[in-house]
Each structure stands twice: as C-alpha cells, then as structure tokens.
Structure 1
C-alpha cells in the first residue's frame, strides 16, 4: 500500500516515536527487529555506513523493548509479536563522543551513566565507568525483575578520528574497553545486547572478550535492515516518486533511473538486493532535486588520512578491487590495506561475489560517491582552491557535452596554470591521475592504464557523444603522444563501443605544470 503524499520525509530523523507522532514517513523495518530479537543470539553487532539508519534502528528497538505496542500499529511486527514485554533499557549513543581527549571522554561516559543512575541509583564506591555500568545493570535487574537490554549506538565513534594515530588511539581505546568490559561477565542479567558502528576494533573487549557476539553485518537475512530497496520505494514511496517525476517533467521510471544512478548500488552481502542511501534519498524526495546529500555532509578525517597512509591513487580508488571474506573481519587498527575500511564507511560496496571461494569484487556504489570522493582528493592532487576547480570543471563539462574537446582542454590548461607548485608532480603518472580526477568530476566514465592486445591506453573517457582515447606525455610533444596511439592501433580494442572514437594526444610541461600542446584526431 502506498504511503500518503502528505507524509513528511525524515531528514536525519532518529526518534522512532517522534516519527510516529508527527506523521513522518517510516520505511517499515520491524520484521527485521522481530527476527533479531527472536534469534538464537542475544549479543549482536551491525556495521553500516554513517547516516544509513543505524540510530533509527536502535531507537526503534528501544521502543520495542519498552513494550510500546501502540507505536507499531500497522507495521509488520504488529502481526508477529504476541507478548510485548517491557524490559529495562540502557541506551547509549556515542555519536556525541567524537573528537574528545581522555578526560573529556571519561566525562562524557560519566554524563551518560548519570542519566540512568537517576532512575536506578548508584552504589557508593562505584567510581570507574565499568563499575558504574555493572552496578546499573545489576540494580535494574533487581528492581524490575526483568533482564536488562543494552543498546549501544555508534560504539566506535570516539575512536574513528584517531585510528591513524599511534599515540591517542591506545589511550582512548583503553577507556572504551574499560567501559564495555562488564557486558561479558553479566550475561545472566542481560536479555539482549545490540551494538552498531562503522568499523571493528578487535582490541575492544566487546570483540576480544565477547566471543559469542553475532556479527549480522554481512548475513543475507539482514541485507536490507538499513537503507531502502527499490521495492520499498515502489510500495511505500510511490506518491512521492510520482510527484518528483512530475516536478522534473519525466516519467516515474525515468525518475527511478536518475535516483538509481545517484543513490543506489549498495550491497552489504552477496547476493543482495540493491540498497539506496536513505539519507540522500529522503533529502532528494523532500527537495525534489538530485544533489549530493550524503557526501555533502562531510568526508571523515580518518578516511583521507588512511588514503594517504596506504597511498591509494585516485584511479585505484575509482576502480574495482578484490577482497576475501576474511578481509571484512580484519581489525581496524591492524589493517594492511584500506579496502575493508572503504567498504565499512560506505565508499566501496560489494559489486559481485563468488560464494564458492569466499571472494568479492568491490567498487564505488554510485555517482554521488564517485564525484564526492574525487572532490575530496582535489586538495591533495590539484589545489586547496576547490571553488576554482569547480568553476573549471563546469566549463569543461559544458564543452564536452557540446562535443568540444578542444574547448575542454583549453579550459583545463588555463585552470592548471593557476595551480600552485606541488611536490612529486614531475612524472607522467601524476598527470594521468589529474586527468582521471577532473574527468571523473565531470560525471564521465573514466579509466586509466586500460589494457589492449597491443599495449595500454593512458586514459579512456566516454561521453554521450564519443569515446576518447588519450595518451599523456611529459616534456615531449602532442605529436609523440598521437604517434603512440597510431603505432599501437588502440582503436581496434574499442571498435564496438557504439560511439565515435576520438584520439587525443596531450603533452604536459613539467616546468609550467600545465598542458603545453595537444592534438585531436577523429
């Protein structure tokens, strides 16, 4: 049944009861809640990217465990649950504990514990966070006669921004390990424990000691527990989809294709339905506009630092990579590569999987993430002046959509001539990466070092009107670059692409750090 058009779209909404009371659209995930709470495990962990609905899921669990049956009227769980038992719930949200030092983090823990100590009391002598948490669980159990539910949202938030630091990470990790330590010893007092996060820190006691915690992040039965599927859009957002399409003067199917290209493509296991980014989707429906919403709220500092640490190039980032099943379970603080972190953070997703060998192909999920990632690399490869980059990219995009490569290269030369000097730019590979970033920002299909039977093409870019085969040289000439394309007969490899092939030879001047000359042949 379609949701009424008058439903408000929940932009960043995390309160399940508020959504119910104030008539917000709620994508029904309560069948998953029933499945979780009636499974064999009472300790569970879920990893999903930021702004993917983890906090709303935790808050919905909170309402469920408090027995608020009236909030679930008309939802799937209403027909599944028959008991609606009320349990004491301890709900900790650590999204408020980011960018804190040791003393500030301990103060934040104290503040969160004090909230529940007002209800269940505090034993004299309980000073450390672990003592206070243990005391809370024991008293809540004795006072209510019910086992306790512990919900911990974004358990890893205090550690994410320091995961690349050897000094601060161990200190903060020990604080959090101390806090979580009672959860193992108090199993007899606990009914259900659920944690969410982005990454897995193995040296926190929650993973190193709670060996019975079930990680449901990649289980097929929970593939769509967060995010929105196309079936859910068609069934629960059909009226909004119709209004969106009318606003843009296109059909519903055309509208869905636009949404799919920009916000779809996530898979958290394999096989899996396509999952849309819920934050971007709700914003787009609310504003009836396609824009960068999820990426626009900021790229985490830790991601850029880790990209630099592992030396991942833009082209590597934009391509596809292989990973084994064990890679996804790698401890964050012991990573030997960045692919698991890119996956957990939502910048990579599973594109394909081989269940027989337990291997996966990963890559960027959609256009919003691809362009956002390339924009985040501009300060490191081009210039901190992102406004100048944006202006240049718009000019180049206009030229390419008019099939004017000459004008696009002229705009690129003008732009690059304004970029300040940077180290490590005196080799051809740097300029390949620069072209890759710029063309990717245009929203075009771009790849570098594309293999052919007779060699490799430096850069391949496809626009709606043409396929460009680009050879890059430094301190030589465009004629030399063009000669290499002719000699190796690259066009044979792309003869069936369906659009005209255009050969482009570009020469960069290492002293002026921009394009010196180019040659274009159709």
Structure 2
C-alpha cells in the first residue's frame, strides 16, 4: 500500500505538481519494497535545525502563555512558579536531536491551561494497545525500559518483520532521548527514558493492567505516594496488598512476575521513582525533593536482609526512609515489611519559644515484638510536633534507645527508670511477651502514680492480633490483663497501627488540654 502511495507522488503526472511535500507520522519504514518508490526524502526526525518544530520550548511557555498561567494562579491560589513546575514535570521532556533541547507536548499544555488541571491529555488521544502487546511479547524485562539504549542506526529504520520495541516506543513518543554518549570512534549512543510524568504514569498503569490481566481495576493505588509523603506507611502497604489481590491466579506467576508488577505499580503511582537494583529483588528510589524513600521488594530475602542491602547500596542516599517488603508468592501477599527511618529533624525553637513552650515528656516502654509500633509512634510524634509547635506545645518523646548507653554505677535499667519517672506520661505496649524490663517499667510507673511527682499518667495498650502460637509468655500477658481488670484499672486494645495511633492521639490531646487549662485557668479563691 505504501509502495503505491509513494509511487503516485513520483510519477510523471503528480511529480511535477508537487513543489513541497511534508510527511509526518509515528513510524517510518525503511524498506517499503526492494526498489523503494520514494528514495529522495530529507529525514528531519533527528535534525537539530528542527528540534523544536513540534513542541513548545521553555521560552515559549514563559512568554506566550504568561497570561494564561497568571489567570490560572488567580483562580486557584496556586503560585505561577508552582504551576510552571508542574507543567514541566508532566509535559516537558521530549527531545528530538543530539542537542540538549527539550520541548513541551503542545496538546497537553494547551488543554491544561484551558482546563486549569493537570490531566493526561495527550495519552488519552490514543491507547497504545499495539505497543503494549508488542512489549509483553518481547523478551525485554519491563524495568529495562528506563535503561534502554539505542545506536543511531536504530532511529533510521523500522522493519515490519523485525520490530525493535524500544525504537518504536521512541518513534511513537513514549520514550525520548535523555542522554547522549559519544565513544572514541565518534559514534553516539542514546540513552532513553520516559519523557515526563504524564507518559510514565499512564503508560505503566495500562501496561500493568495488561501484564497482570487485571479485569477489575481501581486507581486507588495512586494514593501510595500521598501516604508515603505523610508517613502513613501502614496505609501504603495495605493499598499495595489490595492491588496484588486483584491479580488473577495463573501458573506463570513466579517471583520475577511479582518483581516486575511491583516496579510498574510504584513507578506509575510515584513517577519520580527510578530503579536502583533488580537482581532477585526490585529496589527503587522515590525522590520527592523534600523526602526520599527507598523501597526494596523481594520474594526471596527477609526484611532484615533487604534493609541491609539498602544500607550497603552506594546508589542510595544515607539518611532516607528505607522500606523493606517481603512478598510470599505462594500466599500471594505481603508477608512482612518494615521501615528504617531517617533521623528526625530537630525542631528549631526561637529564644521566645524556649520560654513559652509547653513540653510534655512521654516515655515509651515495650518489648521487642512491638518494635514496628515504636517506630510508628516516633513518626506520629514527629508529625504532631510540626503542628503543636505553632501553639507553643511540644512532645518530647523519650526512648531507651536514645538514652546514654554507657556503663552506670548500678544496673543500666535503673538509669532508664530514673529517666522514665521524670516524664509526664508513660506508655506501655504489650503483645506476645511481657519482657522483664518492660514489666518492671510498668509496675514502677503504676506505683509512682500515687505520688505527687511524675509520671502523672500511665497508658497501657495490648495488641489483640492473634499470635502465630500460644506461648507461656503470651499467657503471662493475658494474666496481666486480668490483673489490671481485677484492680479496677483500664487498658486500651489495638489490632493495627492505625488503631493504636488514633487512640494514643486522643489520650495525649486530652492530657495536653488539661495541662494547658491548669496553667491558664484561674485558680478558685
């Protein structure tokens, strides 16, 4: 068909009438037939002179659309610079030559400015079903897309009988040039990647659905990034698990399948992410400027091994959130996960605040089986302090891990106990074991409540999730619950981190409100 079309353009009748001919499309064919009917074309695809022909440059956006951006800003209270940054991340990034020149997608920019919304406008114009099917049938591992490289000869041809999926993804706009390296012989090697967030999000979401043959799809997984940014790790993990549960059970679902699926899920939900390592695992880094998250997902390694791998990886920044996830392929679920948190950023108090601040000291006591809950409480306190500091309030969280670990005159636990009884509140957590020192801290605090000094409040939490086995230690925990009941005291129950933090927050708010009232309310005459 193409041979006949090109032949008409060059025959004796039509040829003399055509002074200038411009042909555009998503792909080009180098061999229409053995004897090409149209062999005098000038290919502009990678010509630097036309690198900005099919898109808006940064200068175009700053000058031609300034009024539109300002109008958008006035309507939404979003700063013009923030709008420009979003436009750049979502729609810029297309590169059509060796020169370091990038252009915006005009369709997406115009629609975004008109609708005052950052949508997937260009991607909606056509569904790349053909590309998706080619990619799934190819031998390319999905994560290799963002590490794709091509020689220049691959840009110049498209063989229908020998399709290079990376080349056609470039020709159709789903990949673009990110870097060019010239070797000693003068040959260029092009590194490719997704041009922007619009393409990356939408393409990987569609690819993920087709790859896993998901029939009932929901975009709720896009909340993963929001949950991570707000340190709601439990919610993020639950969202991931929900998406895994939507995958139909097929025989070919091995560890490699789940590693690739995880890659597509995270990179679609978090377009700022990039792959770090994929050997028997899937390690990604999510870089959101203010916060960075490394996630190491594996069906083989334990969470401790995954955490150690991240700590030892030179490609990862040191002091960031490190999330380890172990996936069980037989049960098809996330079996274990953990978070290694960066050191909390110190709250800087002004001199005036130092004199006015109302500090509430809280000691956390628990056994080793609740280490994850302890970490979540630390995150909760950090988030809460960001708001409390505006009201001249502050939670000073005391953990034995943060106290001096040197030799003491007596037992080290005596030193911890002294620090504990100087706190306003003591929180004790129990699950499958009492722990010798945790029980000692609980009983000491209980005795101190009858004295005029600190601690003034004791909150006891029991985790109700059934343990894997009923041990003697667990029976002792149940006996302690009964002892508390017989003493006509109260304790709190939780079955998840969310439940724990909700109840804890409510109790701390009540205590701090009473503290504020005691310092501000006039005393009766």
TM-score normalised over the length of structure 2: 0.58
Q: Is the contact made by 1:240 and 1:285 (CA closer than 8 Å) also made in structure 2?
A: yes
- The aligned residue for residue 520 of structure 1 is 339
Matches of 2:226 and 2:85, distance apart in 1: 23
Over 3 Å counting, the alpha-carbon distance change for 1:235 and 1:385 in structure 2 is same
Matches of 1:517 and 1:458, distance apart in 2: 15
SS of the equivalent of 1:432 reads helix
Within 5 Å, give how 1:336-415 maps onto structure 2: 336-354=163-181, 356-385=186-215, 387-388=217-218, 390-394=219-223, 396-415=224-243
- The aligned residue for residue 88 of structure 1 is none
Within 5 Å, give how 1:127-166 maps onto structure 2: none
Q: Highest Rg: 1 or 2?
A: 2
Q: Is the contact made by 1:449 and 1:457 (CA closer than 8 Å) also made in structure 2?
A: no
Over 3 Å counting, the alpha-carbon distance change for 1:423 and 1:276 in structure 2 is farther
SS of the equivalent of 1:371 reads helix
Matches of 1:350 and 1:207, distance apart in 2: 32
Over 3 Å counting, the alpha-carbon distance change for 1:445 and 1:459 in structure 2 is farther
- The aligned residue for residue 183 of structure 1 is 9
> Could you tell me which of 283, 288, 297 is aligned with 1:472?
297
Matches of 1:241 and 1:503, distance apart in 2: 38
Q: Is the contact made by 2:6 and 2:38 (CA closer than 8 Å) also made in structure 1?
A: no
Q: Is the contact made by 1:401 and 1:463 (CA closer than 8 Å) also made in structure 2?
A: no
Matches of 2:98 and 2:233, distance apart in 1: 40
Q: Count matched residues.
A: 335
CA RMSD of aligned residues (A): 2.7
SS of the equivalent of 2:248 reads coil
Q: Say whether 1:510 aligns with 2:329.
A: yes
SS of the equivalent of 2:75 reads helix
Q: Say whether 1:298 aligns with 2:122.
A: no
Within 5 Å, give how 1:86-165 maps onto structure 2: none
Deviation for aligned residue 1:212? 1.4
Q: Is the contact made by 1:310 and 1:337 (CA closer than 8 Å) also made in structure 2?
A: no
Q: Is the contact made by 2:174 and 2:199 (CA closer than 8 Å) also made in structure 1?
A: yes
Deviation for aligned residue 1:488? 7.6
Over 3 Å counting, the alpha-carbon distance change for 1:489 and 1:252 in structure 2 is closer
- The aligned residue for residue 258 of structure 2 is 431
Over 3 Å counting, the alpha-carbon distance change for 1:210 and 1:331 in structure 2 is same
Q: Is the contact made by 1:323 and 1:360 (CA closer than 8 Å) also made in structure 2?
A: yes
Q: Say whether 1:247 aligns with 2:75.
A: yes
Matches of 1:387 and 1:456, distance apart in 2: 27
Over 3 Å counting, the alpha-carbon distance change for 1:467 and 1:333 in structure 2 is same
Q: Is the contact made by 1:207 and 1:213 (CA closer than 8 Å) also made in structure 2?
A: no
Over 3 Å counting, the alpha-carbon distance change for 1:449 and 1:466 in structure 2 is same
- The aligned residue for residue 11 of structure 1 is none
Q: Say whether 1:218 aligns with 2:46.
A: yes
Matches of 1:407 and 1:504, distance apart in 2: 13
TM-score normalised over the length of structure 1: 0.59
Matches of 1:192 and 1:519, distance apart in 2: 64
SS of the equivalent of 1:462 reads strand
Deviation for aligned residue 1:194? 2.3
